[in-house]
A = this chain, B = another copy of it.
Amino acid sequence: MDAPNPITILVVDDHPVVRDGLQAIINSEPGMQVVGDVGKGVEAVALYFALRPDIVLMDLLLPDIHGAEAIRRICEKSSNAQIIVLTTLDGDEEIYRALEAGARGYLLKDMVRRELVQAIRDVAAGKRYIPAQVGARIAENLPRPDITAREIEVLQLIASGLRNKEVAYRLTVSEATVNAHVKHILSKLDVSDRTHAVTVALRRGIIHL
């Protein structure tokens, strides 16, 4: 054997076909090996501590909890965990949340095989792997738009078609307060109406359908 210590990898993705694809790519590469794969977030956390892999490939859209939350739970107890995010989402907010949670790398799913292998080797070696495509996006929009948790609540309710008065009732505050939140949202997202605010927020991953 040429690899005394192959890189062990845990694959987390809710699509079986993607898990198979990743296994096929990784296992055909010398020096790395998939030791487990799972489709749900909580199971991923449990499996991580059972297997202690060198690398975790983590999708963000999982059926139970958000991938960033799974990353946070892992890094909370094991700060040296090396996790690479692997997703189709390229909204700013998703990237920020994943990196904040402790991810060391970020891959978009339209990557080619070479990029995946390189990312695994880089992160396994202790480096970070942020592709130019993603890095540029972060550099562009800094400073991060500091949308408040409360503002996101309002945004989500607006997206579901509620009027300000209805949002106010739902959040048990006055309509004036909702007006203020909306004003701040429009300002922070640099748009001039609530509809555009919703589409921008969706594009950035601040809210979801």
A-side residues, CB < 8 A to B, are: 14-25, 63, 88, 109-113, 116, 158-161, 163, 191-196, 198-200, 202-203, 209
Contacts and interface: CB of A to CB of B under 8 A. Distances in A.
A12 to B, nearest CB: 14
16 contacts: A15-B88, A15-B109, A16-B21, A16-B113, A17-B22, A17-B116, A20-B22, A24-B24, A88-B88, A159-B199, A160-B196, A160-B199, A161-B191, A161-B193, A161-B200, A203-B209
Most chain B C-beta atoms within 10 Å of own C-beta, residue among A16, A111, A194: A16
Copies of this protein in the complex: 2
A20 B21 CA distance: 5
B110 A14 contact: yes
B110 A15 contact: yes
**Residues of A contacting B: mostly:** helix
B195 A159 contact: yes
B195 A158 contact: yes
Given A17-B18, A20-B25, A116-B17, A199 B194 contact: no
A129 to B, nearest CB: 16
A116 B20 CA distance: 13
Contacts of A63: 110
Q: Which 3 A-B pairs have the closest CB atoms?
A: A161-B196, A21-B21, A20-B21
A16 to B, nearest CB: 6
Contact of A194 (B16, B20, B116, B195): B195
A161 B112 contact: no
A81 B14 CA distance: 30
B18 A18 contact: yes
Contact of A195 (B25, B198, B203): B198
Given A21-B24, A192-B161, A193-B163, A209 B198 contact: no
A22 B110 CA distance: 15
B195 A17 contact: no
Most chain B C-beta atoms within 10 Å of own C-beta, residue among A17, A109, A199: A17
